[in-house]
Amino acid sequence: MSNSDGMHSHRHVALLPSSGMGHLLPFLRLAGSLISQRCQVTLITTHPIVSLAESQLISAFLSAFPQVSEKKFTLLPLDPLTANCNDPFKLQWETIRRSAHLLSPLLSSLSPPLSFIITDMTLMSSVVSVTANLCLPNYILFTTSARMFSLFAYFPSIAESKTDGGSSRFGDEIRVPGLGSPIPVSSLPSTLLDLNSFFTKNFSDNSRSIKNVNGVLINSFEGLEKQSLEMLTVGKAMEGLPPVFPVGPLLPLEFEGQSSFSPLKWLEGQKERSVVYVSFGSRTPMSKEQIRELGTGLVLSGYKFVWVVKSKVVDKEEDESLDEILGQELKEKVMNNGLVVKEWVNQWKILSHKAVGGFISHCGWNSVVEAAWHGVPVLGWPQHGDQMINAEVIEGGGWGLCMKSWGWVSDIVVKGEEIGDRIKELMGSETLKSTAARISEEARQAVGVGGSCENMLKELFQSWKKTE
């Protein structure tokens, strides 16, 4: 059998996502693209699963795609004290890494034999040693920005450049060769500045293993990150870099539509581009004090809003009522001006609604890509991790604001008046609106017939063919 691209059509691909919705979601969307390119897909799920949102999404995906087989991977137990980690999602990354040797029999037992595996970047160095032994080609899905990838790839050379301890080795900014604007050290999460943390050690180990993978897939596209992608795909700025495939924007699949609560009906009654959508992703809770200031800011802005409130890290523990979080008086004001949601929502559908004119976001990468697709300007309020660097992508692209002075989550409490003023700036700007519209147009070209998404997958298959 042969395809239009002249290749043997049978490809069996295993996907190994890491934990957290921000990692799982792009993997499932990628699975959708691979299936439409006639690949057979095996999804490796790691057990126990951390959050309810993840287990529900996996079940919904598997029922929507009965042709996908699930392979359950039971993890070795890990004492949180051993890993010195109080973030359940990062602890899970470490648990998967420490269980990676158990993948060997699992991967070699699959039938028909695997063509290649696509692994989450947080697991790469530990999985690469397993796949190398099996002579199984291993690609990485990097689930955040190309800008972050360039820092990630360059990181060990900075960390090794000087022998003095502490963060002084980084200077004030990091100039990755070929990358447009330098990355201020203040945009790096504090975990990365501590070279002795287990997170930073894994980050560096993963980075050093880049040269041992067959390629890197990134959920980005030219219209969103032109310079960074040019440097990674054409520039060859870094030695030993395997091919980089910008396969984005990865689009949602039909099955994701099933959220228990939908604000769409309410949005129907609102004026075009008059509503602010507010969400900080699936794993960043805010302090109660900050949640109240945000509520005050939303009311002061004078705009209507859909606001996803989150006060716990893991959704299973979300038990406080709005009365408890906001207090009676503020709750009433908030309810009169907008809609408050405590559940996981279908963000894609909300952003696609014509009533939505702005997005207050933590700048998790999937949110950035979704906002870009819909042409919705962003008020970036990064909370931790790679989010400040992602917010710089938006600010640099001219379609949103990056609130650096608001610091990382719980550094300071940002006052309601300030938040209200910035919302007015966001919603009132014609420049942000028109730039966002242009990027949305480019996103649509990328997924069109003969666009970069399709071409990148073809290039990926060709690169795999060469490994055979």
Residues annotated catalytic, as ranges: 23, 120
Q: Is 38 helix (H, G, I), strand (E, B) or coil?
A: coil
Nearest residue to ligand G50 on Cβ basis:
385
Provide the strand spans (E) within 260-407: 275-279, 304-308, 338-341, 356-361, 378-380, 400-402
Q: Does 452 bind ligand G50 (CB under 6 A)?
A: no
Task: Please give the single-letter amino acid code of residue 320.
Answer: E
The pair of structure tokens assigned to 126 is: 């530990």
Under 8 Å between Cβ of 217 and 118: yes
Contact 8, 36 (CB under 8 A): no
Min CB(210)–ligand G50 separation in Å: 10
Phi-psi region of 108 (alpha: psi -120 to 50; beta: other; left: phi over 0): alpha
Rounded to the nearest whole angstrom, what is the least distance from the CB of residue 456 to ligand G50 in the complex?
Answer: 20
* Interface residue with ligand G50, options 104, 181, 191, 259 (CB under 6 A): 191
With contacts defined by CB under 6 A, name the span among 46-54, 188-196, 221-229, 246-254 that binds ligand G50.
Answer: 188-196
Listed ranges 56-64, 96-104, 184-192, 231-239: which one lies at the site for ligand G50 (CB under 6 A):
184-192
Rounded distance between C-alpha atoms, residue 359 and residue 423, angstroms: 9
Span interacting with ligand G50, options 189-197, 232-240, 425-433, 446-454, rule CB under 6 A: 189-197
Count Cβ atoms below 10 Å from residue 82 Cβ, excluding itself.
11
Site string for ligand G50, 104-143 (x = CB under 6 A): -----------------xx---------------------
Q: In terms of CB distance, is 38 or 312 closer to ligand G50?
A: 312
Instruction: Name the β-bridge partners of 380.
Output: 361, 402
Least Å distance between CB 198 and ligand G50?
Answer: 10
Candidates 220, 16, 191; CA nearest to 100 is 16
Minimum Å gap between C-beta 147 and ligand G50 is 11
Is residue 158 within 8 Å of 203, Cβ to Cβ?
no
**Residue 390 lies near ligand G50 (rule: CB under 6 A):** no
Binds ligand G50 by CB under 6 A, chosen from 54, 256, 386, 442: 386
CB of 193 to ligand G50, least distance (A): 10
Sign of CA dihedral 237, 243, 248, 253: negative
Q: Give residue 304's identity as a one-letter amino acid code.
A: K
DSSP 339-375: EEE-S---HHHHHHSTTEEEEEE---HHHHHHHHHHT
Question: What's the closest the beta carbon of residue 142 comes to ligand G50, in angstroms?
Answer: 7
**99 sits near ligand G50 (criterion: CB under 6 A):** no
Q: Which one among 189, 248, 252, 382 touches ligand G50, defined by CB under 6 A?
A: 189
Does 384 help bind ligand G50 (rule: CB under 6 A)?
A: yes
Between 356 and 394, name the residue whose CB sits nearer to ligand G50.
394
Shortest distance (Å) from residue 18 CB to ligand G50: 9
Exactly one of 61, 116, 152, 464 binds ligand G50 (CB under 6 A); that residue is 152
Q: Which of residues 319-378 bind ligand G50 (CB under 6 A)?
A: none
Contact 266, 345 (CB under 8 A): no
Nearest approach, Cβ of 191 to ligand G50 (angstroms)? 5
In the list 92, 144, 220, 290, the residue contacting ligand G50 (rule: CB under 6 A) is 144
Q: Yes or no: say if 251 and 280 are a contact pair by the CB < 8 Å rule.
A: no
Answer for which of 46, 138, 202, 296 binds ligand G50 (CB under 6 A) is 202
User: How many whole angstroms separate alpha carbon 345 and alpha carbon 371?
Assistant: 15
Q: For ligand G50, which residue of 119, 206, 214, 219 counts as binding (CB under 6 A)?
A: 206
162-189 residues labelled b (16+ CB within 10 A) or e (exposed): eeeeeeebbeeebebebbeeebebebbb
Nearer to ligand G50, 225 or 386 (CB): 386
411 phi, psi to nearest 5 deg = -65, -55
- For residues 319 and 442, is the Cβ–Cβ distance under 8 A? no
**Please, which residue, 92 or 440, has the CB nearer to ligand G50?**
92
Would you tell me which residues interact with ligand G50 (CB under 6 A)? 121-122, 144, 148, 152, 189, 191-192, 202-203, 206, 384-386
